[in-house]
Amino acid sequence: MHEIGLEAANRLIDEVFAEAARRDLPPLAAAVLDGGGHVKALQRQDGVSFLRADICQAKAWGALAMGVDSRRLAERFAVDAEQQGFIHGLHALTAGRIVTLPGGVLLRDGDGGIVGALGVAGGPSDLDEACALAAVAALGLHAGPA
């Protein structure tokens, strides 16, 4: 697999929402981006605020842009002032397209190649990430570093 397909992207989102239901989470938004950062699939559950669609895309986009899950970007921000400056620079450089909170995960195929990213927003960030990781596992893909 060189790029995430539409069917797989929609299945990922279905799995995100199924995991959210199991965890009794509020409505979520989920976006799957292809390896070039373009939206492959995006859904917002009924009742989720409209901005969540932008947030889930920004989590996924940041993961792709930096080659790490968005949790790692959040961890870098917490390290020290130099890392905070770096993240602030990324925000400025990308016109705010990166959100440095957990919930954006890289999508890797069986060979470790990046085929896209999945972003989830609407619940607590740790649980957004948990839903994303459950969806990735359900499809037999891999998340995170190679």
β-pair partners for 108: 114, 142
Instruction: Give me the residue spans of the domains in the chain.
Output: 6-138
pTM assigned to the model: 0.94
Cα separation, 42 vs 2, in Å, equals 20
For each of the chain's 146 residues, which pLDDT tens digit applies?
Answer: 578 999 999 999 999 999 999 999 999 999 999 999 999 999 999 999 999 999 999 999 999 999 999 999 999 888 889 988 988 998 899 888 899 999 999 999 888 899 999 999 999 999 999 999 999 999 999 888 76
6-138, CATH topology level: Beta-Lactamase (3.30.450)
Cα separation, 142 vs 105, in Å, equals 9
Are the C-beta atoms of residues 52 and 120 closer than 8 Å to each other? no
Cα separation, 92 vs 32, in Å, equals 24
